Amino acid sequence: MHDWERSVPRGPVERASRAILRSVPPPMLRPDTDGRPMLRECARPALMVFHVAALFIAPHAARAQERPSTVLLECERLYDGTSERAAGPTRLLVRDGRIAQVGPNVEAPAGAERIVLSGMTVTPGLIDAHTHLSFIWKDTTTAPSFASFYLQSPIVRAFETAQNAEKTLLAGITTVREMGTDDGIDVALSEAVARRLVRGPRIVSSGPLYPPSGGRPDIRWPPDGTVANREEIVRKTREYIGGGCDWIKMFATGGTFDDTTATPWFTADEIRTAVETAGARGHWVAAHAMGQVGARNAVAAGVRSIEHGSRLDKEIVRDMARKGIYLVPTLYHLEWYALHGEVMRYAPGYKERLAALQKEQFASLALARKSGVQVACGSDAVFSMHGENAQELVWLVRAGMTPVEALRAATSVNAALLGLDKEIGRIAPGYAADLAAFPGDPTRDIQAVTRAAFVMKDGSVVKRP
C-alpha cells in the first residue's frame, strides 16, 4: 500500500479509487521550462475522487462531450472578442477543436455537423478571472458552517467543486482563474478537466499567501498558505509553483465577506519577494487589495493584477497604467453578500458597509478607466454564485462600461491577463473553439450573457439550445 493510501477511508468507493490509482504512476515534477508541472502530493486525494467518479460517469460524460471532427455553426450575430461591434450573419467552421474559418459564406465540408443558432449572438467562451470553485454552500436558507467548510474531507469537497465547475461551464464560462483553495483541489480539478474525467472550464490555478494572523475570527483559514516573513514567502511561492499552481495570490490587505477595513498586511518589499520568486519561474502574482496602502504596495512591487481595488487613487491608477497592471474589480460579489448577509450572520450594519465599499469600487473603476488601466472581468464567485458568473458583466456596465467593453473584458482582455491571448478570448482561425451563444444581442443588452443557450469548449458541444 502506498503511503498516501493509508489516510483514505475504507469502503467500496475508496477501494475502487485505490485500484484505479495503483495503475497510475506516482506524480513527478517536470522541469520549470516545461511550463506545466504535474500534480503535487497534496493534490492526489482530490484527483483520486475524479478517478473514482470516472467509474460511474465517464460513459455519460464521454457522450456529452463527444467531439465531431468538423462542425459548422451558423448564427445571426458574432462578437469576436476585440471589435467595437458585432458582425452580421456569420458561419464558423470548427475542425479538431480549433476555429478553422469565419465568415458569411463559409461552406460545410462533407460529413460536418451543422448547428443553426437562430436569433443568437456567438461570442468567445467567457473567461472569469476570479473564482473560488471549492467554496461550498448550497443551502442559502441557513448559515454555512465554516468549520466543516474548511475542515471537511477534501475528497467530498472535490466532488462538490466538480459540480460547481460544471455549473460554471454551462453558464458559458469556458475558462476561469481559480483564486485560492486548499488541499490541492484546484490543481487536481484542472488536471481532471484536461483529462476529460469531469466537465468544467479550463482552470488556471493559484496558491494564496496570507499572514498567520488576520481574517475573520469565526473562519479558520487553511494553514498551508500562511507566511510571516520574506524567507517563508520564497519557500511557499516555490512550493505552490512546484506543485502545479499557475499563479500566486497575495493578500496585500484584509477585507472579505462583511469586513471592509482593508488593513494592509504586507510591505512592498515582501510582495516584491513573491513577484521576483514567481517571475523567475515564469509565473505572475495577483494581489487582493481593498485599501490604498495595500494597493500602493502591490503596485510598487509589480504585481500582474489588482483584485477588487476598492479604494484606488489617481497616483495608484497612473502607476498601474504605466506598468501594465490589470484591475479586476469584482463588483457583483458585494451585491451577493448584501443579499445573503443576514443568513450568513454578518455583523449589524453590513448592508451599509457593503454599499459604501461598492460605491468606492465604482469610483476606483472610473479612475482606472480614465487612466487607461486594462479592466478585466472577475466575479469572485463563491458559494451559490457558481453559474451566476456572467452577472459580473452586468455590473461592469452598471459601473459605467459599455456592453462591448464588458464583453471585451471577459474575453480578449482576460485572455491577455492570463497570458493566453494566442489561444483563447477571440474568434479567429487557429484559436481554440471555446464559444458561447446567447439569445439576442449582448453588445446592446448585456443581460443576454446571463442566458447562455449554447456552449462549446475545445470543439466539444457541452450545451445545446
- List pLDDT tens digits, range 76-135: 999 999 999 999 999 999 999 999 999 999 998 998 999 999 999 999 999 999 999 988
- For 266, list phi and psi in degrees, rounded to 5: -130, 150
Fold annotation for 204-389: TIM Barrel (3.20.20)
Residues 126, 132, 133, 136, Cα dihedral to 10°: -140
Distance CA 236, CA 239 (A): 5
Q: How far apart are CA 267 and CA 256, in angstroms?
A: 20
Is the distance from CB of 298 to CB of 271 less than 8 angstroms? yes
Query: pLDDT tier at 351 (50, 70, 90 boundaries)?
Result: confident
**Average pLDDT, integer, range 338-365:** 84
- Looking at per-residue pLDDT, the higher value among 24 and 150 belongs to 150
- Which of 58-62, 113-117, 140-144, 319-323 comes out lowest in average pLDDT? 58-62
CA distance 439 to 287: 36
C-alpha separations of 266 from 233, 263, 288, 301, 309 in Å = 11, 10, 11, 11, 16
Q: What is the C-alpha separation between 207 and 42, in angstroms, rounded?
A: 13
Question: What are the structural domain ranges in the chain?
Answer: 70-123+431-463, 204-389
What one-letter code names the amino acid at 84? E
Q: Round to the nearest angstrom and report the end-to-end CA distance of the chain.
A: 48
Flag whether the pTM goes above 0.85.
yes
Judge contact between 376 and 126, C-beta under 8 A: no
The CATH number of domain 70-123+431-463, selected from 2.40.50.140, 2.30.40.10, 3.40.50.300, 3.40.50.720: 2.30.40.10
Beta strands in 379-453 (DSSP E): 435-439
